Chain A
């Protein structure tokens, strides 16, 4: 049986002589030494996109490879890519998706097995009634667009992904700028609600068809 409270020695890797002294001084029967020599040569980097610390990389790899890594980033959100075209496509999709969903509604429907579901009339996506998924689908499209529209102009930035610390400022370059037209399409909140009864929606559809 191994002692549950077996202590682990933390610190720089000790020599064999030091290990013996540490065991003697600890007064324990056993001491665990983590001898991962690689750990001492490792370094965590600050991810400027995620805004989190990375797990430790080998120091040489971190310095030569990861600190040199550059990518394109949308200044309006955290969308990144290795390719400039991807960011332009992201902005185009935001606009087109918004335009497709201006009058979008959530239509209730009945599945084969009797489960209730909703379909977005903007993109035809079948969505779940659970967790208000339909409303969240529309909200996300709306919120993403609004966040970019409020910025006015969106830059495609060429930037370093990692730094050694959050306080270290790395140079970035604006490679392109897109202007989001400030005028936002107005969304009819009633139409977006999935709480409307199917009967009311059918009446509206009949009037449209005449």
Chain B
């Protein structure tokens, strides 16, 4: 017989010790509000393309003189955006053995949730890509956004700059990287210029920015899928909802297909959509520093 103290790891004693498997956690999916901030339409069955026309405004009516014929007539003109939906989707193939071993209630549910999130993320990124297309861009690389940029952008959008589109109609929305929102919070909680710590300043100091919070009446949404570029700058935007359009051809189509010879099951989710810019003057790109504060 061996002599000495018996430890938890002595000889084969570990073989009798249980391992508790906790329920698996999933990587947190960032907020993807972008597709909900823009105008959306559903393309009917039997149609391949969606054209959206915008009538330009006519010139001002003229003062007339009695008895003098108004000889010039104004012509209607439109700007047209053409959108042709494209397919998007994601597949997960799970072997029957994996499903058996992991338990159907776990791995299949997780796979379903993950592919759903993935499709939504794709949709959000497609909308985010359009922010870069707005011709008006403020702040600039390496500089932090402040509330003056925000106020100026709102005023720019509401100015009647362009007879083809007119001023941007309310409501306006903003979708920004969280570091851009942090810069705005920094500006709002900087008490010294205004000499007050009450109201919104106080609220922001005691909590964080919420989706329902507004600056100059414009809700600012944290768009979790806006990425930083190599220079630590990010591209968000302030825009009227009708500046951008998304056309969807169908609801998300969830599929499940057995492959018996492979002993696997294929789970997929598919949707057809297209997105585009209808009115360039109705949006402002916010291209600003999004480097980490700490």
Point out residues on B near A: beta carbons under 8 Å. Answer: 21, 24, 26, 84, 86-95, 97-98, 102, 106-107, 110-111, 114, 118, 122, 125-126, 128-129, 132-133, 135-137, 140-141, 161-162, 190-197, 229, 231, 233, 235, 259, 262, 264, 266, 268, 270, 274, 276-277, 280-281, 287
Contacts and interface: CB of A to CB of B under 8 A. Distances in A.
Contacts of A81: 135-136
Given A58-B274, A81-B136, A82-B281, A30 B98 contact: yes
29 contacts: A2-B107, A19-B93, A19-B266, A23-B262, A29-B95, A30-B92, A30-B98, A32-B91, A33-B93, A34-B90, A35-B268, A36-B89, A37-B87, A38-B86, A38-B87, A41-B86, A52-B231, A58-B274, A71-B135, A78-B137, A78-B140, A82-B136, A82-B280, A111-B196, A113-B196, A115-B191, A115-B195, A129-B192, A130-B192
A54 B135 contact: no
A83 interface: yes
Given A38-B86, A38-B122, A82-B161, 14 more contacts: A1-B21, A23-B264, A31-B93, A35-B270, A38-B87, A56-B129, A58-B86, A69-B135, A111-B192, A111-B196, A115-B191, A126-B192, A128-B193, A130-B192
B125 A55 contact: yes
Interface string A20-60: 10011000011111111110010000010110101111101
B193 A127 contact: yes
A54 B140 contact: no
Residue of A2, A57, A129 most packed against chain B (CB within 10 A):
A2
A36 B98 contact: no
A179 B190 CA distance: 39
A37 B89 contact: yes
Contacts of B118: 34
B88 A65 contact: no
Contacts of A125: 193
